[in-house]
Amino acid sequence: MSDAKAREWIEAIHQLDLPSRVRVMNVCGGHERTLSMAGIRSVLPKNVEIIPGPGCPVCVCPEEDLYLAIQIALHRDATVMTFGDMLRVPTNVPKREVRTLEQARAAGARVVPIASPSEVWDAAMANPSERFVFFAAGFETTMAPVAARIAEGLPENVDLLISGRRTWPAVATLLAGDRAAFDGLIAPGHVAAVMGPEEWLFVPETHGIPSAVSGFRPDQLLSALYSVLRQLVEKTPVLENCYAHAVPAGGNAQARRLLDTVFEIVDAPWRGIGTLPESGYGLRPAYAARDARVLHADLADESRKRMGEMPAGCGCADVVLGRIYPTECALYGTTCVPRSPVGPCMVSDEGACRIWWAGGIRSPEDLRTLHA
Amino acid sequence: MCLGVPMLVQSIEGFQAHCEAKGIERDVSLFMIQDVDVKPGDYVLVHVGYAIQKLEPEEAAATWQVLDELFESNELEEADPEGAARRE
Ligand code: SF4
């Protein structure tokens, strides 16, 4: 951390008269990545914990959706196209069966990893006699571009399997109990840039918890952290926008309009966590004829909805909810490593387990050196 | 996947911008920021092929610093050609 601005914030944080234990949650894989890569935890006062929370849409994509995508790839004359992270996320089927989209591809199914929805449109337009299924999981920042692409026109030969999720309802769930899961919140900068920072006002206003919208550079995260901690000390919880030049009031109105045109808000299941109210994007009825869930309902396994939990022994759901740190999962670094991931949190670039591993945190001891 | 990447706008045609970052060239949609004044020479933050906002040049450079470190550590951490291809 050589940056002078970052050093100033670190000093300012050390000057604060903080309680003996402070837990600040972030809800964005991008934030967690900067925190880990820049080693920010190691330069903070030892009583300040930063907990990675629900920041990984791949990690909470329901098992039954993955299962359906795999079955479509295996049994229908169609190409399944999905963001690269989804290919290696395991389902809970018995070992000898096809567990991932990657294995389906190895078995001869047509599965194509993409980086942008436009790749689906290009492929569909180039091959008008073939069918394509676009399997899209993501938070607001991903679903807005997906909505834009659909609103611009959906080719006749593209069907949609949508597993989009909204971020704030997960945080609302964490705050619903009598005892808050954290003392301060770093709100996600890019989600706020799209949806508007106002979505996060409920955290200070309803729950009295200090909050700040943050950018992704180390000094920006430190300034947001300072804001949250100062609010905590002064007992003046508000939502401070520490990323104002990128996050205007109201967010991106065009993006919100597009989301609203294509999707309706639905109660949606989060893998290993359960159904959270108003937490998902569902296709509007106008697109029902292109909804892969409806078109391929016969391939879905209804019983999976009940058994749609994480793989055996995987604590990913608790990691996503910030109840445990990645290192507190018994499989972390033993049977579960990026090369052979057990759970989605070790697969996705936004999963806390994978980010911590990449950041060099290998064991509970590594974590203990960071906190008092 | 949600990795926002800053890119430099080289030319614009309608809602399509031809952009460049680290020697990689891409067509990026400006559909979501059509109310924003974007010109060649500006930086935009790109999520899955769509610009979600315009960026100041310093912000773009600082974000790339963070991303460079990420890619480096990912390369060291695992021999995963699939992953490298996915991230390009
Ligand atoms: S270390 Fe692996 S098994 Fe454990 S919570 Fe993370 S992803 Fe799941």
Q: What is the pLDDT of residues A143-168, one digit of tens each?
A: 999 999 999 999 999 999 999 999 99
- Interface test mutation site (partner B, options A254, A260, A337, A361, max chain B beta carbons within 10 A): A254
Q: Which among B27, B24, B3 has a CA at the least distance from the CA of B16?
A: B27
Backbone torsion region of residue A270, taken as left when φ is above 0, otherwise alpha when ψ lies between -120 and 50, otherwise beta? beta
Q: In the structure, what pLDDT confidence band is assigned to residue A180 with cuts at 50, 70 and 90?
A: confident
Question: In the numeric block, which tokens belong to residue A184?
Answer: 């301060």
Q: What is the CA radius of gyration of chain A?
A: 21
> Tens digit of pLDDT for each residue in A331-350?
999 999 999 999 999 998 88
Instruction: Calculate the dihedral angle through the C-alpha atoms of A360, A363, A365, A366, rounding to the nearest 10 degrees.
Output: 10
Contact A253 B35 (CB under 8 A): yes
Minimum-distance ligand 1 atom for the alpha carbon of A319 = 5
Q: In the structure, what pLDDT confidence band is assigned to residue B79 with cuts at 50, 70 and 90?
A: very low
Q: Which residue of B has its CA nearest to A56?
A: B2
Phi, psi for residue A196 in degrees, rounded to 5: 95, 140
Q: In the structure, what pLDDT confidence band is assigned to residue B81 with cuts at 50, 70 and 90?
A: very low
- Interface test mutation site (partner B, options A3, A28, A33, max chain B beta carbons within 10 A): A33
Question: CA-CA distance, A26 to A184, in Å (whole number)?
Answer: 9
Say what the pLDDT of residue A303 is. 79
Average pLDDT over residues A70-84: 97
Say what the pLDDT of residue B3 is. 62
Say what the pLDDT of residue B74 is. 59
> Which CATH number describes the domain made up of B5-80?
2.30.30.140
A272 lines ligand 1 (CB under 6 A): no
Average pLDDT over residues A164-180: 89
If you ran DSSP here, which 8-state letter would residue A336 be given?
B
Q: In the structure, what pLDDT confidence band is assigned to residue A3 with cuts at 50, 70 and 90?
A: confident
A329 lines ligand 1 (CB under 6 A): yes
Say what the pLDDT of residue B70 is. 67
Q: Which residue of B has its CA nearest to A259?
A: B32
Is the minimum CB–CB distance between B71 and chain A shorter than 8 Å?
no
Question: CA-CA distance, A146 to A141, in Å (whole number)?
Answer: 9
Say what the pLDDT of residue A208 is. 95
Residue holding tokens 């060649």? B40
Enumerate residues 6+ apart whose C-beta is below 8 A from A372: A46, A47
How much of chain B exceeds pLDDT 70, in percent?
75
Say what the pLDDT of residue A307 is. 63
Q: What one-character-per-residue DSSP string does A339-363 give?
A: TB-SSHHHHSTT-HHHHHHHTT--S
A343 lines ligand 1 (CB under 6 A): yes
A90 lines ligand 1 (CB under 6 A): no
Q: Which residue of B has its CA nearest to A258?
A: B32
- Which among A77-81, A217-221, B28-32 has the top mean pLDDT? A77-81
Question: CA-CA distance, A129 to A78, in Å (whole number)?
Answer: 11
Residue holding tokens 């050609």? B81
In the CATH hierarchy, which top-level class contains the domain A1-17+26-64+76-86+108-308?
alpha beta
Say what the pLDDT of residue A312 is. 87
Average pLDDT over residues A258-267: 97
Q: In the structure, what pLDDT confidence band is assigned to residue B35 with cuts at 50, 70 and 90?
A: confident
A111 lines ligand 1 (CB under 6 A): no
How much of chain A exceeds pLDDT 90, in percent?
79
Question: CA-CA distance, A2 to A4, in Å (whole number)?
Answer: 6
Domain boundaries, chain A: 1-17+26-64+76-86+108-308
Kindly tell me if the per-residue pLDDT of B85 is higher than 70: no
CA distance A85 to chain B (A): 7
Please state, rounded to an integer, the average pLDDT across all residues of chain B: 80
Q: Which among A49, A44, A51 has a CA at the least distance from the CA of A22?
A: A49
How much of chain A exceeds pLDDT 70, in percent?
98
Q: Which among A255, A166, A256, A350 has a CA at the least distance from the CA of B1?
A: A350
Say what the pLDDT of residue B80 is. 42
Beta strands in chain A (DSSP E): 22-26, 48-52, 78-83, 111-114, 131-138, 158-165, 184-188, 211-214, 239-241, 263-270, 274-283
Can you give the length of chain A in residues? 372
- Which among A169-183, A221-235, A242-256 has the top mean pLDDT? A221-235
Enumerate residues 6+ apart whose C-beta is below 8 A from A307: A63, A92
Q: Exposed, middle or buried, A38 (CB in 10 Å: 0-12/13-18/19+)?
A: buried
What is the DSSP pairing of strand A184-188 with strand A211-214? parallel
Say what the pLDDT of residue B2 is. 52
Helix (H, G, I), strand (E, B) or coil at A185: strand
* A&B contacts, CB < 8 Å: 130
Say what the pLDDT of residue B73 is. 62
Q: In the structure, what pLDDT confidence band is assigned to residue A372 with cuts at 50, 70 and 90?
A: low
Say what the pLDDT of residue B83 is. 41
Question: CA-CA distance, B25 to B32, in Å (whole number)?
Answer: 20
A222 lines ligand 1 (CB under 6 A): no
> Tens digit of pLDDT for each residue in A350-362?
899 999 998 888 8
Provide, as residue numbers in chain B, all residues whose Cβ is less than 8 Å from the Cβ of A152. 31
**CA B88 – ligand 1 centroid, Å:** 26
Question: In the numeric block, which tokens belong to residue A258?
Answer: 């597009």
Look at B69 and A240; give whichever has higher pLDDT: A240
Q: Which among A161, A268, A60 has a CA at the least distance from the CA of A150?
A: A161
Domain boundaries, chain B: 5-80
Give the side-chain half-sphere CA count within 13 A for A247: 25
Q: In the structure, what pLDDT confidence band is assigned to residue B87 with cuts at 50, 70 and 90?
A: very low
Kindly tell me if the per-residue pLDDT of B84 is higher than 50: no
Average pLDDT over residues B58-80: 68
Residue among A314, A325, A337 to mutate when testing ligand 1 (max atoms within 8 A of CB): A314
Exposure pattern of A211-222 as b/e (b: 16+ CB <10 Å)?
Answer: bbbbbbbbbbbb
Q: In the structure, what pLDDT confidence band is assigned to residue B23 with cuts at 50, 70 and 90?
A: confident
What is the DSSP pairing of strand A131-138 with strand A158-165? parallel
Cross-strand bridge partners of residue A211: A185, A239
Average pLDDT over residues A99-123: 96
CA distance B49 to chain A (A): 5
Among the listed ranges A118-127, A202-211, A238-247, A305-314, which one has the minimum average pLDDT value? A305-314
Question: CA-CA distance, A363 to A370, in Å (whole number)?
Answer: 12
Contact B59 A246 (CB under 8 A): yes
